Amino acid sequence: MNHIKCTGLILVAALLNSCSADGSKDAFTAADVLPTPEQVAYQQMEMVGFIHFTMNTFTDKEWGYGDEDPALFDPAELDAEQWVLAAKAGGLKELILTAKHHDGFCLWPSAYTEHSVKNSPYKNGDGDIVREFTDACRKHGLKAGLYLSPWDRNHADYGQPEYTTYYRNQLRELLTRYGEINEIWFDGANGGSGWYGGADEERRIDRATYYDWDSTFALVKQLQPGVQIFSDAGPDLRWIGNEHGFAGETCWSTISTDQLVIGASDQGYLNTGDPEGDRWITGQCDVSIRPGWFYHASEDGRVKTPGELMDIYYKSVGRNGVLLMNLPPDRRGLIHETDATHLAALYGMVRQVFASDLAAGAEVKTERKHVVGRSYRPGNITDADPETFWAAPANAEVKLVVALDEPRTFDHIVLQEPIRFGQRISAFRLEVPMEKGLWKEIARGTTIGYKRILQVDPVTTGEVRLVIENALYPPAISALGLYHSGENH
Ligand code: FUL
């Protein structure tokens, strides 16, 4: 059950239409499918990060076979605080570490296997990189997340029921020893050739049944009630369907899970979500700052440029997704200088473009009467308070005119819906006035969700009109912002 904060009281969503800041009876109702407060908080982070680091870093591979000698793992200068500080300087609010990748090597001294840091030269076998990582995240105010690969090419029992017990034992270690874990990441890649304790063969599993995901998720939530679970199929966060970091132009946070199988879902469906979906599963857009997920010296010259990273930002955060950017530490155990510099430059660009909202405080008029009650007035979309919003009285086309105090030049428009009441809008356009009462379209889109960023050719105008053409419910908007990047497109 979702709860909503309302004038200091906690009310259930279904009672929403009796709740407004000035006590009046309003007709605004929440959608049928709503995010949890944890999902809303997660989306508000906007940018989070991945740390892909393991044996592969030392063998120059992307997928280890599972027969690698722990003696190879020796990151002599490893400094988890350096990872966290690089992420923080790049605007990332959470980091997720590959505690175990497909090759089965564990970055913590698991009691259930010998294939771990405890048999490596790292700190003479006394190291625990999950501990160093979670401590560093906490010290510098980032949330910590963990990736535990379901596929394990080292383990002799992979493919048998015994392995799923091993997997859950490892989850229990990770979710009870290291304090609060904000996210757990379940990869869809699964089954194939591997070492498997020396069997050195091909093994396939039934993706739909082998892990009994429902029981695994229940265990995870029992051990960490606030955790966000990522997989192709959620339940909290879903894969966006590609590894470029691109959400769909149309991107619903709603989706139906009966069509989703972890590791075998329709990638197009994951990319756009489904307006008729019966679950809220936020889209997470994973991408690596380099061509590979793990560090390879040969890719030092191929780190994505700040401009490329900005394009990814527009196509993830700007399309109702959360950006998950991978930073792979090198053999020293440090994030490479180029990666850190480019990520910091991205964050600098984001802050520069969105530094000053030219629509802040602007008067807003609608041609239709807004919902009775000050809580939903049109001016709420320019009041710089993301909690307040405007809501339409009915589900029909509606036009909102933002009147600037003087003509302004902008090239970015940001729209936001109050997603705690659901995702509603399915078609909109933006216009500026021409002569004789005519309006010219400058941008158009389908979904908005938590945030939609539109880049337009620079335009100078005293008025901007948002036309909401279609919505699933009476539409609502929490923010409309106008920004000028200072660049000539
Ligand atoms: C994929 C894995 O196979 C890659 O190695 C990487 O971990 C990526 C994030 O997910 O499915």
> pLDDT tens, 246-288?
999 999 999 999 888 888 889 999 999 999 999 999 999 999 9
Note whether 309 and 445 are same-domain residues: no
Note whether 341 and 211 are same-domain residues: yes
% of the chain at pLDDT higher than 70: 92
Which residue's alpha carbon is nearest to atom 11 within ligand 1? Answer: 189
Note whether 328 and 378 are same-domain residues: no
* pLDDT value of residue 375: 73
Among 4-8, 63-67, 427-431, the range scoring the smallest mean pLDDT is 4-8
Mean pLDDT computed over 20-42? 77
For ligand 1, residues with CB inside 6 Å are 62, 187-189, 286, 293
Atom of ligand 1 nearest to the CA of 98: 7
pLDDT for residue 4 is more than 70: no
* pLDDT value of residue 213: 95
- How far apart CA 55 and CA 202 sit, in angstroms, is 21
* pLDDT value of residue 264: 85
Mean pLDDT computed over 213-222? 97
* pLDDT value of residue 368: 64
Contact 156, 70 (CB under 8 A): no
Note whether 304 and 435 are same-domain residues: no
Domain stops at, among 290, 324, 353: 353
* pLDDT value of residue 371: 57
* pLDDT value of residue 23: 40
Average per-residue pLDDT for the chain: 93
What CATH code is carried by the domain that includes residue 234?
3.20.20.80
- Flag whether 257 is in a domain: yes
* pLDDT value of residue 391: 92
Query: Amino acid identity, residue 404?
Result: L
CA of 408 to the centre of ligand 1 (A): 45
Domain stops at, among 329, 353, 377: 353
Which residue's alpha carbon is nearest to atom 2 within ligand 1? Answer: 189
CA of 153 to the centre of ligand 1 (A): 14
Three-state secondary structure call for residue 483: strand
Tell which residue, 264, 240, 262, 265, has the closest CA to residue 253: 240
- Flag whether 23 is in a domain: no
* pLDDT value of residue 430: 98
Count other C-beta atoms under 10 Å from residue 162's C-beta. Answer: 12
Quote the pTM value.
0.94
> Confidence class of residue 47 from pLDDT cuts 50, 70 and 90?
very high
Note whether 451 and 344 are same-domain residues: no
Mean pLDDT computed over 162-168? 97
CA of 332 to the centre of ligand 1 (A): 22
* pLDDT value of residue 25: 40
% of the chain at pLDDT higher than 90: 85
Counting ligand 1 atoms within 8 A of each CB, the residue from 55, 61, 293, 295 with the most, and so the one to mutate, is 293
Atom of ligand 1 nearest to the CA of 294: 5
> Which pair of structure tokens corresponds to residue 266?
């329709």
CA of 336 to the centre of ligand 1 (A): 20
Query: Amino acid identity, residue 58?
Result: F
* pLDDT value of residue 265: 87
Note whether 379 and 348 are same-domain residues: no
CA of 369 to the centre of ligand 1 (A): 50
Note whether 338 and 378 are same-domain residues: no
Atom of ligand 1 nearest to the CA of 147: 7
Contact 300, 339 (CB under 8 A): no
Note whether 120 and 73 are same-domain residues: yes
- How far apart CA 383 and CA 479 sit, in angstroms, is 8
Atom of ligand 1 nearest to the CA of 63: 5
* pLDDT value of residue 367: 74
Distances from the Cα of 352 to the Cαs of 35, 147, 285, 358, 415, in angstroms? 30, 33, 23, 13, 18
CA of 63 to the centre of ligand 1 (A): 9
- Flag whether 52 is in a domain: yes
* pLDDT value of residue 276: 97
Domain region containing 384: 363-483
> Confidence class of residue 416 from pLDDT cuts 50, 70 and 90?
very high
* pLDDT value of residue 374: 60
CA of 152 to the centre of ligand 1 (A): 13
> Confidence class of residue 7 from pLDDT cuts 50, 70 and 90?
very low
- Flag whether 180 is in a domain: yes
* pLDDT value of residue 386: 86
> Confidence class of residue 394 from pLDDT cuts 50, 70 and 90?
confident
Mean pLDDT computed over 94-101? 99
Counting ligand 1 atoms within 8 A of each CB, the residue from 243, 289, 326 with the most, and so the one to mutate, is 243
- Flag whether 338 is in a domain: yes
CA of 187 to the centre of ligand 1 (A): 7
* pLDDT value of residue 260: 86
- How far apart CA 75 and CA 486 sit, in angstroms, is 43
- 141 DSSP 8-state letter: T
Residue bearing the bigger pLDDT, 29 or 379: 379
* pLDDT value of residue 261: 84
Note whether 136 and 207 are same-domain residues: yes
Atom of ligand 1 nearest to the CA of 52: 7
Atom of ligand 1 nearest to the CA of 326: 9
pLDDT for residue 198 is more than 50: yes
* pLDDT value of residue 370: 58
Mean pLDDT computed over 204-221? 94
CA of 302 to the centre of ligand 1 (A): 19
- Over the range 460-471, which residues count as b (16 or more CB within 10 Å of their CB) and which as e? ebeebbbbbbeb
> Confidence class of residue 27 from pLDDT cuts 50, 70 and 90?
low
What CATH code is carried by the domain that includes residue 439?
2.60.120.260
Omega before 70 within 30 of 0, i.e. cis: no
Atom of ligand 1 nearest to the CA of 288: 9
- How far apart CA 220 and CA 136 sit, in angstroms, is 23
Note whether 57 and 173 are same-domain residues: yes
Number of domains in the chain: 2
pLDDT for residue 314 is more than 90: yes
Among 179-188, 329-338, 369-378, the range scoring the smallest mean pLDDT is 369-378
Counting ligand 1 atoms within 8 A of each CB, the residue from 96, 185, 187 with the most, and so the one to mutate, is 187
Atom of ligand 1 nearest to the CA of 286: 9
Among 24-33, 284-293, 319-328, 389-398, the range scoring the smallest mean pLDDT is 24-33
CA of 92 to the centre of ligand 1 (A): 20
Note whether 388 and 290 are same-domain residues: no
> Confidence class of residue 393 from pLDDT cuts 50, 70 and 90?
confident
Which residue's alpha carbon is nearest to atom 7 within ligand 1? Answer: 293
CA of 350 to the centre of ligand 1 (A): 27
Domain stops at, among 333, 353, 373: 353
